């Protein structure tokens, strides 16, 4: 494997710009190609970020022997097909969140990656910030006590557009998969897989969840209380309540640059600003794993991504949110 990982992007839409900015802060990674079905987009994105190769078919990018890894940033229903396309071509994959539409798809992608022996990871970018590494260490060493409650939210008020990625059932719309996945994943990182999953949601005119209040229970007795939505602004904060104090993140907690750890009467502040868009940390981790010959990241293994999708499947089943593409699965 080359010292510098040459990345290609499938689906250079709006979020792919943050990947392109982030990779500029990763010394041993470079953006070498993009693939868009829309030639003008390939051109304008490629010009903006000085991308040497531009393809008009996803198949052509994954077949390029000078591409070492693929970032998938298409809408949710195309995550599994695009990831599988890359994996079948033997290319490692970093795929946007949610990893897939449901757990069955996530299992298929994980099985394909394992069979082929290639790296795959969900691009849950917040998890790879330096402050999150510090949080995991504090939780593991118990210096702030044992985690008993995770309180986190991610909701914003978007205008209703039934055709859009956020509201269209055909594009697996709804708040849970788009932004609810962030607090669900945070709770998973801190507490593991819940053994009780419940919650209520308000569905909108297109039938997708527009706001939701989620409660998760864990075998240890710990709980998570999470809110999310695409029709309501929430505080965008996270507070982890422990037996000895609390660990809190100011808004927006999913760009975790600051953290306050309170233990008894003492309080410690941490501040580690991002270097670029914040995507640099997930790119660095995926590139490190690929160079080291790992097929999964220990920070976000595929089984954990599958467990997160399982939790979200259970919530959608409770709310009666089922997407058209799931009817055929
Ligand atoms: N990590 C984050 O902070 C973050 C933030 C926002 C979104 N996301 C995730 O990123 C993904 C993409 O979101 P986005 O807002 O960037 O989407 P977007 O701007 O709509 O871009 C979608 C890209 O996917 C391609 N695509 C392939 N098949 C498509 C289809 N049938 N319909 C529409 N587009 C299709 C588009 O096509 P071309 O081939 O024509 O270029 C385009 O380049 C979502 O899964 C979302 O959850 C992540």
Distance 13 CA to ligand 1 centre (A): 5
Distance 67 CA to ligand 1 centre (A): 21
In this prediction, residue 328 carries a pLDDT of 78
- Given a cut of 90, whether residue 247 has pLDDT beyond it is yes
Atom of ligand 1 nearest to the CA of 165: 20
With a 6 Å cutoff on the Cβ, whether 76 touches ligand 1 is: yes
In this prediction, residue 294 carries a pLDDT of 98
In this prediction, residue 3 carries a pLDDT of 84
pLDDT tens string 131-153: 999 999 999 999 999 999 999 99
Domains of the chain listed by start with CATH number: 5-124+279-297 (3.40.50.720), 130-273+308-327 (3.30.360.10)
With a 6 Å cutoff on the Cβ, whether 316 touches ligand 1 is: no
Q: Give the mean model confidence (pLDDT) for residues 155-169.
A: 98
Sign of CA dihedral 300, 305, 308, 312: positive
**Pairwise CA distance, residues 230 & 153, whole Å:** 12
**Ligand 1 pocket check: which of 12, 41, 49, 73 to mutate, most ligand atoms within 8 Å of Cβ?**
73
Atom of ligand 1 nearest to the CA of 11: 43
Average pLDDT, rounded, for the chain: 97
pLDDT band for position 1 (cuts 50, 70, 90): low
- Given a cut of 80, whether residue 2 has pLDDT beyond it is no
Distance 150 CA to ligand 1 centre (A): 30
Q: Give the mean model confidence (pLDDT) for residues 146-169.
A: 98
Sign of CA dihedral 230, 232, 237, 242: negative
- Given a cut of 90, whether residue 71 has pLDDT beyond it is yes
With a 6 Å cutoff on the Cβ, whether 40 touches ligand 1 is: no
DSSP assignment of 81-139: HHHHHHHHTT--EEEESSSSSSHHHHHHHHHHHHHHT--EEEE-GGGGSHHHHHHHHHH
pLDDT tens string 268-304: 999 999 999 999 999 999 999 999 999 999 999 999 9
Helix 39-48 to helix 16-23 angle (10° resolution) is 30
> Beta partners for 7?
31, 69
pLDDT tens string 7-51: 999 999 999 999 999 999 999 999 999 999 999 999 999 999 999
**Ligand 1 pocket check: which of 15, 101, 185, 277 to mutate, most ligand atoms within 8 Å of Cβ?**
15
The model carries a pTM of 0.98
pLDDT tens string 76-130: 999 999 999 999 999 999 999 999 999 999 999 999 999 999 999 999 999 999 9
With a 6 Å cutoff on the Cβ, whether 97 touches ligand 1 is: yes
In this prediction, residue 270 carries a pLDDT of 98
Q: Within a 10 A sphere around the Cβ of 84, how many other Cβ atoms?
A: 19
pLDDT band for position 327 (cuts 50, 70, 90): confident
CB under 8 Å to 262, separation ≥6 — which residues?
144, 245, 246, 247, 248, 268
In this prediction, residue 260 carries a pLDDT of 98
With a 6 Å cutoff on the Cβ, whether 175 touches ligand 1 is: no
Q: Whose CA is nearest to atom 6 of ligand 1?
A: 15
Distances (CA, A) of 140 to 3, 5, 136, 198: 32, 31, 6, 27
Atom of ligand 1 nearest to the CA of 279: 1
């Amino acid at each position: 494997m080359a010292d510098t990982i040459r990345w290609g992007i499938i689906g250079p839409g709006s979020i792919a710009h943050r990947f392109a900015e982030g990779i500029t802060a990763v010394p041993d990674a470079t953006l070498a190609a993009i693939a868009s079905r829309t030639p003008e987009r390939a051109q304008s994105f490629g010009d903006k970020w000085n991308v040497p190769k531009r393809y008009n078919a996803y198949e052509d990018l994954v077949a390029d022997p000078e591409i070492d890894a693929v970032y998938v940033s298409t809408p949710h229903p195309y995550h599994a097909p695009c990831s599988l396309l890359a994996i079948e071509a033997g290319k490692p994959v970093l795929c946007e969140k949610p990893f897939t539409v449901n757990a069955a798809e996530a299992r298929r992608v994980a099985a394909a990656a394992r069979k082929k022996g290639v790296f795959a990871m969900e691009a849950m970018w917040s998890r790879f910030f330096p402050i999150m590494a510090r949080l995991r260490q504090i939780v593991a060493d118990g210096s702030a006590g044992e985690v008993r409650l995770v309180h986190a939210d991610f909701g914003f008020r978007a205008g209703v557009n039934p055709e859009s990625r956020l509201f269209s059932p055909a594009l697996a719309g709804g708040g849970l998969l788009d932004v609810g996945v962030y607090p669900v994943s945070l709770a998973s990182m801190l507490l593991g897989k819940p053994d009780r999953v419940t919650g209520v949601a308000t569905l909108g005119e297109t039938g997708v969840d527009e706001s939701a209040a989620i409660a998760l229970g864990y075998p240890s007795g710990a709980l998570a209380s999470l809110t999310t939505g695409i029709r309501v602004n929430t505080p965008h904060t996270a507070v982890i309540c422990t037996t000895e104090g609390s660990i809190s993140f100011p808004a927006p907690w999913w760009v975790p640059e600051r953290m306050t750890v309170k233990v008894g009467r003492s309080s410690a502040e941490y501040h580690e600003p991002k270097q670029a868009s914040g995507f640099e940390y997930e790119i660095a981790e995926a590139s490190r794993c690929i160079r080291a010959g790992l097929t999964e990241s220990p920070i976000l293994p595929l089984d954990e991504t599958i467990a997160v999708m399982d939790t979200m499947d259970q919530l959608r089943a409770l709310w009666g949110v089922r997407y058209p593409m799931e009817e055929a699965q």
